[in-house]
Amino acid sequence: MTEEHLHVRKGVAASHDGMIAPPRKTFRKKTAEPPNLTAIAEKVKQGSMRELAKAITFIESNAGDHYLYGQKLLQELLPSTGKAIRIGITGVPGAGKSTFIESFGTMLCDAGHRVAVLAIDPSSSISGGSILGDKTRMEKLAKHSNAFIRPSPSGGTLGGVHRKTRETMLLCEAAGFDVILIETVGVGQSEFIVRSMVDFFMLLALTGAGDELQGMKKGIMELADAIVVNKADGVNKQLAEKTKNEFNQILHFLQPATKGWISKAYTCSALKNEGMDSIWSVIGEFRETVEKSGVLNERRRRQTKEWLHTLIMEQLKNNFYRHPYVKDQISQLEQAAMDGDITPSQATESLFREVYGDK
């Protein structure tokens, strides 16, 4: 058992949340012929939604062979990726993310864009199902022939959700979607994860910057390429303008999220479909700026490199913390360290000696 966990022998498909899953010959019954991956890839490139959904299912699978199909497909499709603009959207609950995406996405689809909506919702790991990306929240957009909505992958670790969303984004690009919207709630590290895979990151806010900010996570504002004050309609309109100005004042003091780009605040009303076109213009301007300066290419390359190292660390962490000895001892050692009975160095040493050392 120790050996199995430690050296990750002969495939570790069972428990690693699809992070790394070498094929395991005896893992599944031979009930089905292996799929023709080249044919699927070809159809994805031609824009087949059916085959795209199939490919995503493979990517999202934790089973060894399906996982491997997904990786092979992705490998074949890699040259066809990277052409979309990748937009991250976050905001406190109630900021109107769904309504915004419904309104913004529909406008883009009507203009001939192909829009894929993905989501990262860490809470779905607990509930087992995702409220985000749910088609019932974006009824009009969901019906649009140019739109594709995929809920957050559910179950498994945040690392798994991270990988699946990132790889799904690439599949969508290969299928010809030219706008990717990745939505997230503000749970855990989800905004930082979305920021690490998008070109443009947008913070959706409500009126009343002061109070609003109090509820914002540390450092979030500094990730944003734009802050959009939503619900700027009716009696709220004036307050939204005031909030926008307050945000601009604060943004002035912060480091820019993107080199060569000045993050600003804007207002819109997703409900009334107002301000959507200006936001699209801002994103267009952003894209032009960062493409010309090389910042976009640099960012994407850095994101890919960081992602490789994130995967490595996730895998190391999973292998270690899932080792039976570690699972058995860790709480006790944490407690002893917190109580001042043992130094954390000694606790670490004792774990590594048992897990990796001779006995």
Q: Closest separation between CB of residue 138 and a copy of itself, Å? A: 29
Q: How far is 275 from 227, CA to CA, in rounded Å? A: 13
Q: How far is 311 from 160, CA to CA, in rounded Å? A: 9
Q: Which two tokens stand for residue 108?
A: 């883009």
Which member of 7, 83, 143, 322 binds a copy of itself (CB under 8 A)? 7
Binding flag, residue 239, a copy of itself (CB under 8 A): no
Per the rule left: phi > 0, alpha: psi between -120 and 50, beta: everything else, 229 is beta
Q: Which two tokens stand for residue 321?
A: 């913390």
**Strand duo 200-205 + 85-91: pairing:** parallel
**How many CB atoms within 10 Å of residue 278?**
13
Q: Which is nearer to a copy of itself, 14 or 111 (CB)?
A: 14
Handedness of CA 22, 25, 29, 35 (dihedral sign): positive
- Whether the CB-CB separation of 147 and 115 falls below 8 Å is answered with yes
Q: Which three-class secondary structure state does DSSP give residue 353?
A: helix
Binding flag, residue 262, a copy of itself (CB under 8 A): no
Q: Closest separation between CB of residue 99 and a copy of itself, Å? A: 26
* Piece of the chain touching a copy of itself by CB under 8 A; list 13-21, 135-143, 188-196, 276-284: 13-21
- Whether the CB-CB separation of 156 and 17 falls below 8 Å is answered with yes
Q: How far is 111 from 99, CA to CA, in rounded Å? A: 18
Binding flag, residue 8, a copy of itself (CB under 8 A): yes
Of 179, 203, 207, 168, nearest to 107 by C-alpha is 179
Which member of 20, 172, 226, 268 binds a copy of itself (CB under 8 A)? 20
Q: How far is 353 from 359, CA to CA, in rounded Å? A: 8
Binding-site size for a copy of itself (CB under 8 A) equals 65
- Please provide residue 86's backbone torsions phi and psi, each rounded to the nearest 5 degrees: -105, 115
The alpha carbon torsion through 90, 95, 98, 102 (nearest 10 deg) reads -100
Which member of 14, 78, 111, 262 binds a copy of itself (CB under 8 A)? 78
* Piece of the chain touching a copy of itself by CB under 8 A; list 114-122, 141-149, 187-195, 345-353: 345-353
Which member of 47, 129, 219, 260 binds a copy of itself (CB under 8 A)? 219
Binding flag, residue 261, a copy of itself (CB under 8 A): no
Write down the residue that tokens 């001892």 correspond to. 329
Q: Closest separation between CB of residue 266 and a copy of itself, Å? A: 19
Which member of 50, 259, 305, 322 binds a copy of itself (CB under 8 A)? 305
Q: Which three-class secondary structure state does DSSP give residue 199?
A: coil
Q: Closest separation between CB of residue 78 and a copy of itself, Å? A: 5
Q: Which three-class secondary structure state does DSSP give residue 42?
A: helix
Which member of 83, 140, 143, 252 binds a copy of itself (CB under 8 A)? 252
Which member of 292, 308, 322, 328 binds a copy of itself (CB under 8 A)? 308
Looking at the DSSP assignment, which residues form a beta bridge with residue 115? 147, 179
Which member of 81, 157, 289, 293 binds a copy of itself (CB under 8 A)? 81
Binding flag, residue 337, a copy of itself (CB under 8 A): yes
* Piece of the chain touching a copy of itself by CB under 8 A; list 6-14, 88-96, 136-144, 268-276: 6-14
Binding flag, residue 158, a copy of itself (CB under 8 A): no
Binding positions for a copy of itself, rule: CB under 8 A: 6-10, 19-22, 71, 74-75, 78-79, 81-82, 163, 167, 209-210, 213-214, 216-219, 222, 250, 252-255, 301, 304-305, 307-308, 311-313, 315-317, 319-320, 333-334, 337-338, 340-349, 351-353, 356-358
